[in-house]
Chains A and B, each alone.
With several copies, the nearest count.
Chain A
Amino acid sequence: MADAVESPVLTISLDGWEGPLDLLLALARAQKVDLRDISILALVEQYLSFVGDAGRIDLEVAADYLVMAAWLAYLKSLLLLPRAPDQDPDPDMLAALLQQRLQRLDAMRDAGARLMARDRIGRDVFARGMPEGLRTIGRPVFRTAIFDLIDAYAQVAARTAPVQHQVRRRPVMALDQALARLRAMLPDAAEWRRLESFLPPGAQGDLRRSAVASSFLAALELARQGQAVLRQDAPFAPLMLKAS
């Protein structure tokens, strides 16, 4: 690269540079002074002439270089023209910033080289070639909440409680009761009376239905014994009963 810089006419191309700052840095280095002492004006001249002479210009590649060239041309004009005392931007300040940029890039480039030259693992120093490795073994820790415990017990209890069949007391009038009641009432039944009038007073719902059924059976039994007479004028008509 140094050769190319010293005799740019031979290989004028932008391909080899990592951007305009890289080119500027190479040109600055060619001044062979400390970066802090370079002549910015001379550097700008070199850059503009280099880019101007670049033979084949790939616009894609060249765009950044041209932007930089325009900015440097602007800087050059600021540096050359007579200036007001409090000109903004201050051309010297801009030049200093450019200089600092070059210094920083140079510093980073140098730092990168020094990093790469360090004793690197796998190149200069080596970790153990066949480490046994460290293992982590899971130790089961059981977590169960008290609720789970109670709930489980309740479910076991519910599932396996001995099944006891308990017949609920149901409101019924047994046949015996109906027979006794009808027998007692018949002597007062000289006239036809509906069967329902023999039911216990206040019998409702299931008890009444049971009483009807058992009283009917009792009536049939009393009729069979010749103690009562039954009459029904039509199917589903009221069942009539009286003492015989």
Chain B
Amino acid sequence: MSTATARAVEAVLFAADRPLTPDEIARHLPAGADLREALARLTDDYRGRGIELVERGGRWHFQTAPDLSHLLSRERDEPRRLGRAAVETLAIIAYHEPVSRAEIEAIRGVQLSKGTLDLLMEAGWVRPAGRRDGPGRPLLYATTPDFLSHFGLSSRRDLPGIDDLKAAGLLDPVSATFAPELESDAENR
């Protein structure tokens, strides 16, 4: 039998129609409830069941266990299929954020077609993240908490292979030397 707080957290997260931060959960609980303990306990309770409690980017939600996907996929629309350019752009943003459009183009070696960033923003995975100080003050892009939830990442540190890439220097800031053919474009955006 779970404690009163665990029951309450369970009910709140179950009823929620989106992932919730601990603060958001706490607003539905009596003051002083030990939310941390309840979340840990629930995570344990559900381990190995058909539903699991997960934390993604600081927000918690229940979801079905990944190994059961074959039972559930029928009659379901495949989530939007991204083209190659969009997938690469999303990966570049996720691994380099915050990153400017010119930097994305430098890494890909080609100009970004008009709709690519729009598509990623519409999907709710990418957001504008301020401007970089410097010439042209380019707009920067970063990923959203929804990106983490959607791809089942607890945080950006969970991005596949990110530590190795970092160690290999492949995530260092993009220098203009990398992309001589795009150099002149960078300042115009």
- Chain A residues engaging chain B, CB cutoff 8 angstroms: 18-22, 24, 64, 67-68, 71, 97, 100-101, 103-105, 107-116, 118-146, 148-150, 152-157, 159-162
Contact = CB atoms under 8 A, between A and B. Distances in A.
Contacts of A143: 79-81
B177 interface: yes
A115 to B, nearest CB: 6
A120 B17 contact: no
A150 B95 CA distance: 10
A125 B70 CA distance: 10
Interface string B144-170: 000001111100000111000100111
Given A107-B165, A121-B149, A21 B76 contact: no
A154 B76 contact: no
A140 B81 CA distance: 9
Contacts of B81: 142-144
B136 interface: no
A165 B73 CA distance: 61
Given A111-B94, A149-B159, 9 more contacts: A68-B181, A107-B95, A108-B95, A128-B62, A131-B16, A141-B79, A142-B123, A144-B81, A156-B109
A161 B11 CA distance: 60
Contact of A22 (B110, B152, B159): B110
Contact of B181 (A67, A135, A137): A67
B178 to A, nearest CB: 5
B29 interface: no
A42 to B, nearest CB: 19
A134 B15 contact: yes
A152 B77 CA distance: 26
B67 to A, nearest CB: 9
Nearest to A129: B17
B117 to A, nearest CB: 14
Interface residues of B, number: 60
B161 A154 contact: yes
B69 A104 contact: no
B161 A21 contact: no
A104 B74 CA distance: 37
B22 interface: no
Interface string B29-68: 0000000000000000000000000000000011111100
A141 B94 contact: no
Interface stretch (B1-9, B83-91, B127-135): B83-91
Nearest to B65: A125
B23 interface: no
B14 A150 contact: no
B149 to A, nearest CB: 6
Given A134-B72, A152-B84, A139 B66 contact: no
B14 A129 contact: yes
Contacts of B160: 111, 114-115, 118, 146, 150
Contact of B91 (A18, A68, A156, A160): A156
A131 B14 contact: yes
A112 B74 contact: no
Nearest to A74: B180
A67 B184 CA distance: 13
Contacts of A136: 73-76
A116 B82 contact: yes
Nearest to A66: B181
Given A100-B170, A101-B179, A130-B18, A135 B78 contact: no
